[in-house]
Chain A
C-alpha cells in the first residue's frame, strides 16, 4: 500500500515538474540564442528591457523604503488591527492584475483627486513610466513586505534586548543588530520584488501601454505579428529571469545562522 502511494506521489510530482519546466526550456531552446542575437539589432527590444529594469528598480527602491518599517512593525509589534493590516497588504497579491490596474487608474487617473493634484504638480502618471512604476509597486511590494517580515521574525528579539542594555536606542539597535542579521532575507525579498515587477503585465497594460516594458512588448509583438516574432522577445525575458533566480539561490545558500 505504502509502495503504491509512493509511486503515485512520484508520478504526480514528476508530471508537475515537467509541466513547469518544459515550456520554459522549449522557449529558451527554440529562440534563446536568436533572442540574444536580436538584442544587437532590435532597438525597441533593448529600450523595453532598459525601461523594465529601470522602472522595476525604482519601484523596488520605493517598496524597500516604505515596506521595511511596515515589515518590522508586523514582525515585532503586537497591536490592535495587525491582522487587518496584514490582510490589506496581501490583497494586491490576490486580485487579478488588470483589476489592480483599474483600481490604480481610479486613484491616479486625471479625473481623480490625487491624479489631478499630481497633474497640477506636473506629474502625469497614466501613459508614462510613472504609471509603470505605480503598477509594479502595487503588485510586487506585498512580496517584499511579506519576505522582510519573515526575515525580521527570524532574528530573536533578545539580540535587540541585549543591545538596548548595552546602551543602544531602539533605532540604533535596529541599524547595528536587526538590519545586519536580517540582511540576507531583506535582499532576497527585494530581489523577489524586483523579479515580480519585471514580469508584471496586467496592471501595467491598463496604466501605461506606451512606452512599452518588455512584457508588454512581447504581448504586442504576439498580437501584431504572431508567434514567430514574439518568440525571441519572450525567450530573452525567460533567460533574463535566470539572473534574479541565481541571486536568490546564492542568498539562500548562505544562511545567516542567527541562533543565540
Chain B
C-alpha cells in the first residue's frame, strides 16, 4: 500500500502542499494534472529524492518519510529515461538487478534484449524508455513509480509495452503510481486516479468516478468534459419522479430530484446538491442525437440545430445549438453518417437525468 498523508515538499520555487491519497497494495494509481502541477515532484518526493517537509509517506504500512531512496524498495522511471550513457544497454539493465535471471527476463518482456549490445547513445527515444523500464523492473521493487513512461513510444509499441507493465504489475502484485497526461491511458490502466494541480491533490478516486463526477467545474473542464453549464439548482419535493424509472435507489440514498436552470435550458437531474448556484456537467458521450423526438426514457430532451460537425476517426463530435446554448455530443462516425448530420440540420439532443452531474 502507498499512503500519502498531507505530504508537502519543496523543489526550488515549487511547493507540493498537503497531498493525501492511498493506493492499496496491488493497485495501479494514475496521477493526472496539467503541466507544472507537480506530478514529477510528487513521484520524486515519494522516491525520497526530494525531501518531504511535512506529512508522512507509508509504503506497505511502514513509515518511510525519513528513509533514503535506496532503503524504500521502490523503482522509478523518468519520462526521459536517464539511461547511464557510459554503460551499455545490458549494463544499464543489470545495474541494480535483483538477479541476472530477472534482468534477462524483464529485458525480454520489454523487447530490450535485442538492444543489449548497443551503446545507449545510439538508441531512439522509444528504445531508451523500454530499456529504462527493464532497468527499473529488473530490481523487482514492490512499489513502482512511472513518470510518463510510454510517451516516446510509437502507438504499436506503446500498446505492447503498456500491456507488459500492467502484466508485471499484476503478476508481482506491485503497487504502481504512474504519471500520465493521457486520459485514455488513465482510464485503461488506473484503478485509482489522482488529479494534481498547483502542487495539491484536487480529487482522487476511481478514474470513472473522477471523469463522471468531477468535484469542480475546473476539474470537469480539465478532464475534457465538453458541456459545463453554470446555473441555478432547485430541489424538487417529488421524491419518486416518474422519469426516474428503474433507478429508485438513487433517491433512497439521500438524493433528491433536482431542476437545474441554465439560461433557456431547464435540466432534470438527481443528486444531493444544495439549492443555489452550481454547475452542471454533461459528458458528450451521454448525449444521444436523433432526428425525431426519441421514445426512450431520457428525461432531458431539447430540439436544436447542428452548428458544427468534427470527425475524429471513428468518433464524431457534433455541436448542437439549443436556443443559443451549445451542447456537444459524441457519437460514432457511422451513426453520424446514418443520421446524415450536417450543419443546419434540426436534431433532438437527449440525455438521462443521471447523466447530469452537479458540482
> Would A177 and B136 be within 8 Å (CB), given that A162-B78, A167-B70, A167-B96 are in contact?
no
> Would A164 and B68 be within 8 Å (CB), given that A177-B84, A256-B85, A257-B85 are in contact?
yes
Is residue A159 within 8 Å, beta carbon to beta carbon, of the partner chain? yes
Is residue A158 within 8 Å, beta carbon to beta carbon, of the partner chain? yes
Q: Return the chain B residue nearest A170 by Cβ.
A: B68
Is residue A43 within 8 Å, beta carbon to beta carbon, of the partner chain? no
> Would A159 and B135 be within 8 Å (CB), given that A165-B47, A167-B70 are in contact?
no
Within 8 A of A (CB), among B82-109: 82-86, 95-96
Within 8 A of B (CB), among A141-195: 156, 158-159, 161-170, 177, 180-181
In Å, the complex CA distance between A108 and B58 comes to 56
Is residue B326 within 8 Å, beta carbon to beta carbon, of the partner chain? no
Q: Return chain A residues, CB-CB under 8 Å to B44.
A: 161
Interface centre among A158, A165, A167, A177 (most CB of B within 10 A): A165
> Would A164 and B85 be within 8 Å (CB), given that A257-B121, A260-B78, A260-B80 are in contact?
no
Contact between B70 and A158, CB atoms less than 8 A apart = no
Q: Return chain B residues, CB-CB under 8 Å to A166.
A: 70, 75, 95-96, 135-136, 139
Contact between A165 and B82, CB atoms less than 8 A apart = no
Is residue A258 within 8 Å, beta carbon to beta carbon, of the partner chain? yes
Q: Return chain A residues, CB-CB under 8 Å to B139.
A: 165-167
Q: Return chain B residues, CB-CB under 8 Å to A170.
A: 68
Tell me the minimal C-beta distance from A153 to chain B in angstroms.
15
Contact between A169 and B70, CB atoms less than 8 A apart = yes
Name the one of A180, A257, A260 contacting B82, with C-beta atoms under 8 angstroms: A260
In Å, the complex CA distance between A158 and B70 comes to 14
Q: Return chain A residues, CB-CB under 8 Å to B80.
A: 158, 260
Contact between A164 and B49, CB atoms less than 8 A apart = yes
Contact between A165 and B76, CB atoms less than 8 A apart = yes
Contact between B84 and A159, CB atoms less than 8 A apart = yes
Task: State the majority secondary structure of interface residues on B.
Answer: loop
Contact between A165 and B74, CB atoms less than 8 A apart = yes
Q: Return the chain B residue nearest A181 by Cβ.
A: B86
Q: Return chain A residues, CB-CB under 8 Å to B95.
A: 163, 166
Contact between B82 and A162, CB atoms less than 8 A apart = yes
> Would A164 and B86 be within 8 Å (CB), given that A257-B121, A260-B81 are in contact?
no
Q: Return the chain A residue nearest B141 by Cβ.
A: A165
> Would A161 and B84 be within 8 Å (CB), given that A166-B135, A166-B139 are in contact?
no
Is residue B69 within 8 Å, beta carbon to beta carbon, of the partner chain? yes
Tell me the minimal C-beta distance from A251 to chain B in angstroms.
15
Contact between B85 and A162, CB atoms less than 8 A apart = no
Q: Return chain B residues, CB-CB under 8 Å to A167.
A: 70, 96, 139
Contact between A161 and B96, CB atoms less than 8 A apart = no
Tell me the minimal C-beta distance from A180 to chain B in angstroms.
5
Q: Return chain B residues, CB-CB under 8 Å to A259.
A: 85
Q: Return chain B residues, CB-CB under 8 Å to A165.
A: 47, 49, 69-70, 72, 74-76, 96, 136, 139, 141
Name the one of A164, A181, A257 contacting B70, with C-beta atoms under 8 angstroms: A164
In Å, the complex CA distance between A166 and B74 comes to 8
Name the one of B70, B81, B85, B86 contacting A168, with C-beta atoms under 8 angstroms: B70
A-contact bits for B122-135, CB 8 A (1 contact / 0 none): 00000000000001
Name the one of B75, B76, B86 contacting A161, with C-beta atoms under 8 angstroms: B76
Tell me the minimal C-beta distance from B319 to chain A in angstroms.
42
Q: Return chain B residues, CB-CB under 8 Å to A164.
A: 47-49, 68-70
Q: Return chain B residues, CB-CB under 8 Å to A180.
A: 86
Q: Return the chain A residue nearest B132 by Cβ.
A: A162
Tell me the minimal C-beta distance from A257 to chain B in angstroms.
6
Q: Return the chain B residue nearest A169 by Cβ.
A: B70
Q: Return the chain A residue nearest B47 by Cβ.
A: A165
Q: Return chain A residues, CB-CB under 8 Å to B85.
A: 181, 256-259
Q: Return chain B residues, CB-CB under 8 Å to A177.
A: 84
Residues of B within 8 A of A (CB): 44, 47-49, 68-70, 72, 74-76, 78, 80-86, 95-96, 121, 135-136, 139, 141
Can you list 23 A-B pairs, Cβ within 8 angstroms, ordered by A?
A159-B84, A162-B84, A163-B95, A163-B96, A164-B70, A165-B69, A165-B72, A165-B96, A165-B139, A165-B141, A166-B75, A166-B96, A167-B70, A167-B96, A169-B68, A169-B70, A181-B85, A181-B86, A256-B85, A257-B85, A258-B85, A260-B80, A260-B83
Residues of A within 8 A of B (CB): 156, 158-159, 161-170, 177, 180-181, 256-260
Name 9 extra pairs, CB < 8 A, besides A163-B95, A167-B96, A181-B84. A158-B78, A162-B78, A165-B74, A165-B96, A165-B141, A168-B96, A170-B68, A181-B86, A256-B85
Q: Shortest 10 CB-CB distances between A and B: which pairs? A: A166-B96, A260-B80, A164-B69, A165-B76, A161-B49, A167-B96, A180-B86, A260-B82, A162-B82, A167-B70
